[in-house]
Structure 1
C-alpha cells in the first residue's frame, strides 16, 4: 500500500535473465540484457546509422570517391530500431569511359606473380623489393637484379631523422 501512494515499484525479488535467452543475467541499466548482448545491440545500431548516413551522402552526391569505381543501381532498404524502413533508389553511373570490364581491371591491379628479372613464377614466395618489383629467391638481393633504389641515401635520411642535431644555447660569460 505504501508503494502505491509514493509511485515507487518494488525491486524484483530474484535476478533477471537476459531477454535474448543467452543464459546470463541482465540488469535494468542494460535494458534487461547481459553485457555481451547489450554491446552487440549498441554495435548494430551504430553500424546501421553509419550505413544510413553513407547511403544518404552517396545519393546526395557528396561522396568523397573519385567516381571511377563501379556503381550498382537498385534500391536499398534501411531499417533503424523502431523506425519504418526507408527505401532509397540509387541511379546508375558509368564505371569508366575506357570500355574495360571490372574483371580486367582487378586482374591488372593484382599484377603478375613472376620474377621481374627471369620471369619465373614465384607465387606466394616472391620477394617485394624497395624498388617496387617482385623477384624470385635468387634475384631478391639488390646486387642480383640491378636495383635502382638508392639504399645509401635512404639510410642517411633514416639516421638523420632518428638522430636530430642537438645544440645547446651559448652561455653568456660573466
Structure 2
C-alpha cells in the first residue's frame, strides 16, 4: 500500500529547526517551534484573551476574581472630563512569588572608602555597609547612639520590681 492511500504521512527525514529562527529544534507538537518560543506564544495568547475579556466585560464572577488578582490598573492622569487608564498584567505562576520584581543592585561597596566588599561586607547599626577596615563605629564615624540603645535594652530587660507594702503585725 502507498502512503497516500492509507492517509499516513511520512516522517521528516531530519530534525526541524524552530520557525522563529532561534537556533533550537522544534517539533510538530509545538507547531514547529522550540519549547521556549511555544511557551512565549501561548503566554501572549493568554494575555490577549484576558485583555479581550476585560475590555468586553464578558467575564463571569469566578473569572472576575482571578482577573482582579492578576490585573493592576494604574491611573496615569485624572482630569475632570477624561480618565486615562493603563492595565498592567502580572502573572505569578508559583506560590510565594511576589508580583514586584526586585531591581538588580550593583556590587556591594563600603560606604567610607567605596571598596567592593561582595558577600563579606559588614552591616552597621547606622544602616550602612562597610569593609573590614571600616566596620567598627570609631573607624567610620558612626552616628548611631550606642549608649542610649544599650540603656533602653537594659531597661526593657530589667523592669522595676516594687513590692507592695506589708502591714506590720
| Length-normalised TM-score, structure 2 | 0.43
| Length-normalised TM-score, structure 1 | 0.42
Higher relative contact order (CA 8 A, sep 6+): 1
